[in-house]
Chain A
Amino acid sequence: MSNTMEAVASAARADAPPAIMLDKVNKWYGAMHVLRDVSLNVALGERLVVCGPSGSGKSTLIRCINRLETHQEGSIKVDGIELSDDLRALDAIRREVGMVFQSFNLFPHLTILENCTLAPIWVRHMPKAEAEALAMQYLERVKIPEQAKKYPGQLSGGQQQRVAIARALCMKPKIMLFDEPTSALDPEMIKEVLEVMVSLAETGMTMVCVTHEMGFARQVADRVVFMDRGEIVEQGPPGEIFENPRTDRLKLFLSQILRGH
């Protein structure tokens, strides 16, 4: 891809208002300071990859974005709405933000189709027939429409994670969060999930992905953020981050994940 085209695309995105704005966010678990003055803007349509050693606060960061965790200092705005104790703001944000977890978290007592239609029916008040048509459309996009009547326990890990992505998409979110979506998968299943994520990125979805899949980051990320000990240490385009790390912490981290692969 040519550099000029990249530049044009980035400029177009930079004009749009940020989808996510974090300003000096701080969070503690008890006395442990897990997010330290984290400031970060994610533009509409931007694909952001977050990486960093285990325990550096990546999960905490993205869980704060849809308020599964609450921050104690600073401000977070999602789609222009400030995250606070206001329940209506919370409802609005949860509808706009989809999330995919490391451990899939499909509902074991519901079929694949019911997993996908649950929120459209009870949150969006969509008629069942319409919700099912929508769910089938997304199950086709993640390439498992034939599993619709099965239960999660009857599917492989890779299939379950693809259902989890379809389930989140059925709410038609503006932003998708991924917390290490492939870490619990066997190598041969990682590929099928990454393929789905790449095709989702091609639709222009705003995505924040916590992942150590460098290939994926190079292919789709506009920007990579490296976190360590609750701080954003370095950020930039994937090429720069992976080829010319400036800090020792990032160099150490990259050498470790390269050895691990």
Chain B
Amino acid sequence: MSQTSIDPRSLRAPPKRPIKLSWSDERVRGIFWQVVVVGIVVSMVWWLWSNTVHNLEVRRIATGFGFLGREAGLPIAESLIDYNPTNSYLRALMVGLLNTLKVAVVGIILATVFGTLIGIARLSKNWVLRTLSATYVEVIRDLPLLLQLLFWYAILQGLPGPRQALHPAEGVFLSNRGLKLPWIQWEGAHSLALVAFLLGLVATIMYRRQALAKQIADGVPRAVWPVALVCLVALPLAAWAALGAPFTPDIPALRGFNFQGGLTLSPEYFALLAGLVMYTAGFIAEIVRAGIQAVPNGQREAAQALGLRPGAVLRLVVLPQALRVIVPPMTSQYLNITKNSSLAVAIGYQDIVSIANTTLNQTGQAIEGIAIIMLVYLTISLSISGFMNWYNARIALVER
């Protein structure tokens, strides 16, 4: 009955198993096969390496990354940083990396939001919503991603030219040159406001965690919204005002055969983003649905019966259980978006693969080019996995 007295059986350590040098010993066989596999891998790598070095010597191509400083002479249509073809290969590759990140980061956020909504819709009591979302998931998952990208690109190419552009609102133009939106002339004050907003977001999250911890300790509920208002609205506004509150609208307008000014979403970026988001959202929807269904209804009812409000039921009972099921497969989907963004090549969006590929064609530095691509994807993928593993560990279930 009592759990405190020590079980006498637990006072003895388990016996050690001495290893016997015999082919019938399971562990001897295990070690043998591991040695064989490592040996095969090492000799294959050595063979590939010596072969490559020999080939490069024969063709007189210097190995090394010296080419990165040379002028690229490679035109790039869209870039987040200043770039022109007289810049170095290094800068061109930087542009490609940023373009890859631009698709991957925005894609991950949109696919998560969109996929979660569809996953919830699949469990809706509304027949139309349920059937529509189920059909969406089925169709999207059955068609190859490359086909979907080409489909979106073809649709965007089918739009009218700039002169006949669709013009649904002031400053908004949709044509085969992409989507043009009104924007502002970006200045230091805006960057500062953005930084202030991000810092405010971190501060709000930290304050909320502390407020909840304090409430657990002393029972007094604390409002988070005043702090959120100050950190997320007042602080960025103050930062912006401190630098003179600059505000110059930048409205796109037709000049000759093309548009000037405004914010541009190119057809290539738009097609790649739409394809990746729509495709991955189909998988995320299934993950979210499985996660929600993994929490039995009795859990919700027990929490409600204890008097917890719907928000608290979700936060304290449903989400902690659902996220355990959702987070690990979600990690693979985030990795998939990142890696699948390399299909950009097919529709002419200049991501890291596209630019590194041009670079290696122009310089002949195939090994280095491939190494750069691999390094980039490895770094992004390991960062995503690292973050998601950390998050997963925070919410891990103590095994029953």
Which residues of A line the B interface, CB within 8 A?
Answer: 66, 68, 91, 94-95, 97-99, 101, 103, 105-109, 118-119, 121-130, 146-147, 151-154, 164, 167-168, 171
Contacts and interface: CB of A to CB of B under 8 A. Distances in A.
Contact of A126 (B219, B299, B306): B219
B222 to A, nearest CB: 11
Contacts of A119: 306-308
Nearest to B399: A153
Given A94-B306, A167-B306, 19 more contacts: A68-B301, A68-B304, A68-B305, A94-B305, A95-B307, A107-B299, A108-B321, A109-B321, A109-B397, A109-B398, A121-B219, A122-B316, A128-B219, A130-B219, A152-B400, A154-B400, A168-B305, A171-B306, A171-B307
Task: Give the residue among A97, A103, A107, A167 with the most B Cβ atoms within 10 A.
Answer: A107
Contacts of B306: 94, 98, 118-119, 123, 167-168, 171
Contact of B302 (A97, A105, A171): A105
Contacts of B2: 146
Interface residues of B, number: 32
A105 B400 contact: no
A118 B307 contact: no
Contact of B320 (A95, A109, A164): A109
Interface stretch (B80-88, B210-218, B241-249): B210-218
Interface of B: 2-4, 215-221, 296, 298-299, 301-309, 312, 316-317, 320-321, 324, 397-400
A125 B320 CA distance: 21
A157 B324 CA distance: 24
B219 A123 contact: no
Contacts of A106: 302
Interface pairs A-B: 9 shortest CB-CB? A153-B400, A105-B302, A119-B306, A94-B307, A99-B305, A105-B298, A123-B307, A125-B219, A127-B219
A181 to B, nearest CB: 13
Nearest to B305: A99
Contacts of B398: 109, 151
A91 B305 CA distance: 10
Given A105-B298, A105-B299, A109-B320, A146 B304 contact: no
Given A94-B307, A122-B308, A122-B316, A107 B219 contact: no
A108 B77 CA distance: 54
Contacts of B298: 101, 103, 105
Contacts of B216: 121, 128
B10 to A, nearest CB: 17
Task: Give the residue among B216, B298, B305 with the most A Cβ atoms within 10 A.
Answer: B305
B305 A66 contact: yes
Contacts of A126: 219
Given A121-B216, A127-B217, A107 B307 contact: no
Contacts of B215: 121, 125
A153 B400 CA distance: 5
B302 to A, nearest CB: 4
Contacts of A105: 296, 298-299, 301-302
Nearest to B212: A122
B298 to A, nearest CB: 4
B301 A101 contact: yes
Given A103-B298, A118-B316, A91 B309 contact: yes
A178 B4 CA distance: 32
A167 B394 CA distance: 26
A89 B88 CA distance: 70
10 contacts: A94-B305, A101-B302, A105-B302, A107-B321, A109-B321, A118-B308, A123-B307, A123-B312, A125-B221, A154-B400
A94 B304 CA distance: 7
B397 A108 contact: yes
B400 A151 contact: yes
A95 B307 CA distance: 5
Contacts of A146: 2-4
B78 to A, nearest CB: 46
A84 B321 CA distance: 31
A94 B298 CA distance: 16
A231 B137 CA distance: 45
A128 B217 contact: yes
Nearest to B221: A125
B307 to A, nearest CB: 4
A162 to B, nearest CB: 14
Contact of A108 (B3, B221, B304, B400): B400
Contacts of A168: 305-306
Nearest to A63: B301
Nearest to B4: A146
Contacts of A99: 302, 305
Contacts of B304: 68, 94
Contacts of A91: 307, 309
Contacts of A167: 306
A97 B306 CA distance: 8
A127 B3 CA distance: 29
A21 B2 CA distance: 44
A122 B312 CA distance: 8
Contacts of A107: 299, 302-303, 317, 321
Contacts of A171: 306-307
A107 to B, nearest CB: 6
A166 B91 CA distance: 66
Nearest to B397: A109
A123 B299 contact: no
A183 to B, nearest CB: 14
A147 B2 CA distance: 10
Contacts of B307: 91, 94-95, 119, 123, 171
